[in-house]
Amino acid sequence: MNPVKSIRKHRQSAYSARGFTLIEVMVTLLILSVGLLGLAGMIGQSLRFNQGGYTRSQSTFLAYEIIDAMRANPDNAASYAVAYVPGTHICIVNPAAAHNLVDATLGCWHRRVTAELPGGTATIVNNPGGGNPLEYEITMTWTDRAHDQPISQTWTVEIS
């Protein structure tokens, strides 16, 4: 075999392989970019769902906060089950009167509900039936940002 012909063939095959390598790199970049776009979409969805879980946890913390306040003041627990009108309850505690304590607790609690839950509202209802222990329902409603729909959660508690 002629060594000159062999060198020419090797140069030609190396030259023609350069274009093929460029196409491989471009296809690889295309596949990588599609994968990264998919990853970014998954991270966005994850953040939205985590926000929903955080809001649901906040509503649970707020419900237990008012339940603890009602249990700490069982003689005036029925005073917590009033229709809340913003601005009627102040967030200042006057230790001289237990009823003012209920007003201040409700005022502070409702203020936190509206501040920590998007579009948050809360109601406390005394379930009829009399007797002891008394049963109350705490219902909170807020807007879920992940799905743009209202979410409602209810807790039932007995106070004796």
pLDDT per residue over 29-74, tens digit each? Answer: 999 999 999 999 999 888 888 888 889 999 999 999 999 999 988 8
86-116: pLDDT as tens digits: 655 566 666 565 557 788 888 889 889 988 9
Q: How far is CA 38 from CA 28, 29, 83, in A?
A: 15, 14, 48
Full domain range(s) for residue 110: 3-159
pTM of the model: 0.69
Amino acid at 86: P
User: How many structural domains is the chain composed of?
Assistant: 1
